[in-house]
Chains A and B, each alone.
Chain A
């Protein structure tokens, strides 16, 4: 019932750090980082993996309703997240916990959402990250419209202009919305980067259920460039995304980035991937781990040593413990909060329902 030993060789993609931790050159993309920046990227990767593992554990213990793990996709998210400038706007799916981290959003926010105590509502103006979007593909059109809006506001066309990034998966590329957003972004020359994390699966369906051509090649048919990057290579993902964002902010229109990666875990905690894929495939991808290659590279280049790695692990573990405590302490929402934010000025029928509910709740007080 699985796909057998379906482990294709790596396709052609932009890579700056190979799985063995060797830096490789690319004619069109090069990046220089300071030692601090290199260490910072490593730290990001380790922390988001650790917090993600903690969230998975919390779900297993019944403390979260569900969790969509980013395991395996850390480099794609940190590469893209760190390439964003403060003024840029991001439109995530439900798996972009690494993007939230890079935008300075407290990790308790998505956990409140998955615990079900609130809508996870971080300040999207302040952090410039829209809410998690679960209806597949819808955010690509939100991003496109937003990109058209900032263009009309005159915020595009300079080196310090604004850009927009839309995240979506390989499965989402089959949705009409996503293809329509490609048409619109192209025709309106909208400053948006379509960042597809091709993690090879849409729940149980492998990539070949969604496409016969490499995803990044779709872009050319819509009239803008598409590029594939090794999504397990944080350096390459950063370089490619940064260039795409800069092109957008300068007014040069959209780019599609396909970050070629792998979903190491289940689709969500409700899913059992052994029903549809072989363990050997997962093992083969383990060799391409995004963190391992950075660690080898940093060690060989003398940028970090064991003390540093231990320190990062300890910090991550500490953050995970803190996060757990804070999740368990999240207050349950008040019963009347169901009426909040439906109609800002109220509505007669809704107001009557709220009043009824208030009377009903009050009937339990005072001795009943």
Chain B
């Protein structure tokens, strides 16, 4: 059996594969060069591709993303890193107003094939400004695609699709998963954007998860299985395009839905998922839908407090039991 690789190694591997394949792919960001990235997600790229294609930039998120847009207009495929996803807020004009609207506002003449990669999510005790899960921020902006992988092989396969996409993609790498291991991606691994994965099939209840909540849901499913509750776990992998048909098919089978998301309950992506099920899958349901999300508060530094805020296995197990007992 092939050696397992870590999620963080998979990030560098996914980018490297595309850089070998396509000379137009360049990387830019803070500390991504000689240092290999503060999360070591770009290790090896500078050695292999050099300073011409791996740019250590001045500290300015606006410039990183704004200049990536300009570079993309010339036909390059920039892969821009924003060190912490919280700092997407520092370059929000480019992400909300410029990049997603340029195709639309030029009548389809100008496209910006770029990827903004960013370390997202909590669970590591990094506090209010370095721990947020902010896929939902991007979800409010038509024109962006949103990817958030949960396994090393998916990182590689989705990175390939993201970089090859002619439209902008925000690629969320979960900090809590960087050290996790999984099977390496096979050669030429490409996963199309907008295809959810059924990670565990089950008959009693559907749990929809994303990124770090996927392994959390799988652990909860094992625990519930011991009590005879058979959970189906769906890994959305992308929020835009959003694969609702996989979710609706599953709910048609199980008649019960729990969504587990790391962002705050207010405005979280789970709200979009459950609203589609409420509109289109209502007749399948035998119990009210449940959302396990973070509390509507900033994230605390303290580990013991952080787990009070974000979803845990215990909270998900409790929610599933309530749903099943309804």
What residues of chain A have their CB less than 8 Å away from a CB belonging to chain B? 1-2, 65, 113, 115-119, 134-137, 171-172, 174-176, 202-205, 209-211, 270-271, 275-276, 332-333, 335, 337-339, 342, 347, 349-350, 353, 357
Contact = CB atoms under 8 A, between A and B. Distances in A.
A118 B300 CA distance: 8
B296 A204 contact: no
A276 B31 CA distance: 10
B56 A176 contact: no
B203 interface: no
B301 A209 contact: no
B62 A176 contact: yes
Given A176-B60, A353-B295, 19 more contacts: A1-B34, A65-B126, A116-B300, A116-B302, A116-B303, A135-B129, A136-B59, A174-B59, A175-B59, A175-B60, A202-B59, A203-B30, A203-B35, A204-B31, A211-B58, A270-B38, A276-B34, A342-B297, A350-B295
12 contacts: A116-B125, A135-B129, A136-B59, A137-B59, A204-B34, A204-B56, A205-B56, A209-B57, A275-B35, A335-B308, A338-B297, A349-B296
Which 8 A-B residue pairings sit nearest by Cβ, starting from the closest? A174-B58, A204-B35, A116-B301, A171-B59, A116-B302, A204-B31, A174-B59, A174-B60
B130 interface: yes
B7 to A, nearest CB: 18
Interface of B: 30-31, 33-36, 38, 56-60, 62-63, 86-87, 90, 125-130, 265-266, 295-298, 300-305, 308-309
Contacts of A2: 34
A210 B58 contact: yes
A65 B125 contact: yes
A179 B247 CA distance: 48
Contacts of B127: 116
Given A116-B127, A203-B35, A333-B305, A174 B63 contact: yes
B285 to A, nearest CB: 23
A171 B60 CA distance: 9
A120 B305 CA distance: 15
Q: Interface of chain A, helix or strand or loop or mixed? A: loop
Contacts of A135: 86-87, 90, 129
Nearest to A113: B301
Given A113-B301, A116-B127, A116-B301, A275 B38 contact: no
Contacts of A119: 128, 301
Given A135-B87, A176-B60, A275-B34, A338 B300 contact: yes
B59 A333 contact: no
A172 B35 contact: no
A204 B37 CA distance: 9
Contacts of A1: 34
Nearest to A205: B56
A353 B34 contact: no
Nearest to A137: B59
A357 B309 CA distance: 10
A249 B108 CA distance: 55
A108 B266 CA distance: 35
Contacts of A333: 300, 302, 304-305
A175 B90 CA distance: 10
Nearest to A335: B308
A203 B30 CA distance: 9
Contacts of B63: 174, 176
Nearest to B296: A350
Nearest to A272: B35
A209 B31 CA distance: 10
A24 to B, nearest CB: 34
B142 to A, nearest CB: 26
Contact of B304 (A136, A175, A332): A332
Contacts of B128: 119
A198 B296 CA distance: 39
A350 B308 contact: no
A211 B301 CA distance: 34
B184 to A, nearest CB: 25
Most chain A CB within a 10 A radius of its CB, from B60, B87, B125: B60
A175 B34 CA distance: 21
B297 A350 contact: yes
Contact of A338 (B266, B295, B303): B295
A117 B125 CA distance: 10
Contacts of B56: 204-205, 209
A292 B309 CA distance: 48
Most chain B CB within a 10 A radius of its CB, from A172, A174, A271, A338: A338
B266 A65 contact: no
B31 A205 contact: yes
Contacts of A202: 30, 59
B301 to A, nearest CB: 3
Most chain A CB within a 10 A radius of its CB, from B87, B126, B301: B301
A116 B324 CA distance: 37
A133 B58 CA distance: 19
A353 B265 contact: yes
